[in-house]
């Protein structure tokens, strides 16, 4: 854990990410990664007014973390860093790690903390050398250990916990499509669930691709029914405690999605006190 911490801290401090072997408390040698967090001005715990926001998105697979994190990153001018994207980039390379990762990801399991921290450290490092400040993390932390490591190296300002009922999550994952050429994300699922027994209904229109992407759509290899169900199980088992970790620290903003992007985006901005920000951006555009 101490060494994992150091890797993140080193990355935030602007030196090279690395892995190291340290002695486990009980004396056995244990391979422990460190998350290296690049230096952003005065240091990893730089005052939040002098840097971009440091936010985290939590939520089950398919809830829309990527969609809303990416919109907020454009609005606030901070990078959107999705560890799932880092894993998929690695998967598309011919490196030896790719084979190992593909077996784990296609079973719906989590990649080891060591590997994910190394990928994240590298990404933070590259960003720091390009002058990035702040971040919106999506898909990290996903284990208590990852949350503790992150807490050990930098301050997280806010954690947004997106929520959606499980039957909708499954439909959304199965409807996900990516344009193999431009990388655009779409969703062909049309969700229209009527309210019953006091439970509100939910309506989400599909997010269809433009004509030039329509013939180039691909599906993520881990978006099959069996694997999505396993990912939901893993989330409830391993990542739900991360919600509690941040709830106890008073950093968790719970946000139940009321529907698709047209209904949810304005409500999310209101919950984040960012409505004015959005108006200014639109006026400037
Ligand atoms: N923080 C993390 N810790 C461990 N594994 C991760 C992490 N982030 C991503 N992964 C791996 O990458 C896969 C895809 O992640 P992601 O795109 O975030 O999927 P999801 O749609 O399940 O939220 C995960 O199922 C997992 O195998």
Q: What is the pLDDT of residues 45-87, one digit of tens each?
A: 556 667 899 999 999 999 999 999 999 999 999 999 999 999 9
Does residue 139 line the site of ligand 1, with CB under 6 A? yes
- Non-local (6+) Cβ contacts of 33 within 8 A are 3, 4, 7, 19, 20, 113, 114, 115, 117, 118
- What is the model's pLDDT at position 12? 56
- Find the catalytic residue in 71, 142, 172, 251: 142
Cβ neighbours of residue 252 closer than 8 Å, sequence gap 6 or more: 58, 159, 161, 243, 246
Is 46 marked active-site? no
Structure tokens given for 121: 């450290």
Name the pLDDT band for 14 (thresholds 50, 70, 90). Answer: very low
Terminal C-alpha separation, the chain: 45
Contacts of 279 (CB under 8 A, 6+ apart): none
Residue 82's pLDDT is 97
Listed in sequence order, the DSSP H helices in the chain are 2-12, 65-76, 83-91, 96-105, 113-129, 144-153, 166-175, 211-214, 225-234, 240-248, 261-271, 275-284
Q: What is the DSSP string of 78-111?
A: --EEEHHHHHHHHHTS-SHHHHHHHHHHTTTPPP
Mean pLDDT of the 11-35 span:
42
Q: Which of 18, 163, 220, 229 is catalytic?
A: 220
Decide if pLDDT at 13 tops 60: no
Q: How far is CA 151 from the centre of its chain?
A: 16
CA of 120 to the centre of ligand 1 (A): 12
Query: What is the distance in A from the centroid of ligand 1 to the CA of 231?
Result: 9
Annotated catalytic residue within 65, 71, 123, 251: 65
ipTM of this complex prediction, to 2 decimal places? 0.98
Name the nearest CA neighbour of 129 among 19, 7, 17: 17
> 276 vs 274, which has greater pLDDT?
274
For residue 243, is pLDDT > 50? yes
**Is the Cα dihedral 188, 233, 147, 26 positive or negative?**
negative
The verdict on the CB of residue 231 being under 6 Å from ligand 1 is yes
66 lines ligand 1 (CB under 6 A): no
Residue whose structure tokens are 């560890």: 83
Three-state DSSP at 177 gives strand
What is the tens place of the pLDDT at every residue in 167-223? Answer: 999 999 999 999 999 999 999 999 999 988 888 899 999 999 999 999 999 999 999
CA 19–ligand 1 middle distance (angstroms): 20
């Amino acid at each position: 854990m101490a060494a994992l911490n150091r890797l993140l801290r080193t990355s935030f401090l602007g030196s090279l990410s690395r892995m190291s072997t340290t002695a486990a408390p009980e004396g056995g040698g244990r391979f422990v990664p460190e998350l290296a967090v690049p230096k952003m001005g005065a240091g990893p715990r730089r005052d939040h007014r002098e840097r971009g926001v440091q936010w985290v998105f939590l939520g089950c697979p398919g809830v829309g973390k990527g969609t809303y994190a990416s919109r907020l990153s454009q609005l606030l001018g901070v990078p959107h860093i999705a560890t799932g994207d880092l894993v998929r980039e690695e998967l598309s390379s011919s490196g030896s790690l790719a084979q190992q990762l593909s077996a784990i990801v296609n079973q719906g399991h989590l990649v080891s903390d060591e590997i994910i921290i190394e990928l994240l450290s590298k990404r933070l490092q590259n960003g720091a050398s390009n002058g990035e400040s702040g971040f919106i993390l999506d898909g990290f932390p996903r284990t208590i250990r990852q949350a503790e490591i992150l807490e050990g190296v930098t301050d997280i300002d806010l954690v947004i916990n997106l929520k959606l009922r499980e039957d909708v999550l499954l439909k959304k994952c199965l409807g996900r499509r990516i344009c193999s050429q431009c990388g655009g994300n779409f969703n062909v699922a049309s969700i229209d669930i009527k309210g019953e027994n006091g439970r509100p209904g939910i309506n989400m229109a599909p997010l269809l691709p433009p004509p030039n992407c329509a013939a180039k759509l691909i599906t993520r290899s881990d978006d099959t029914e069996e694997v999505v169900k396993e990912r939901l199980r893993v989330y409830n088992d391993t990542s739900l405690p991360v919600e509690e970790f941040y709830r106890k620290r008073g950093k968790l903003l719970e946000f139940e999605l009321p529907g698709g992007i047209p209904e949810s985006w304005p409500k999310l901005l209101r919950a984040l006190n960012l409505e004015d920000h959005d108006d200014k951006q639109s006026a400037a555009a």
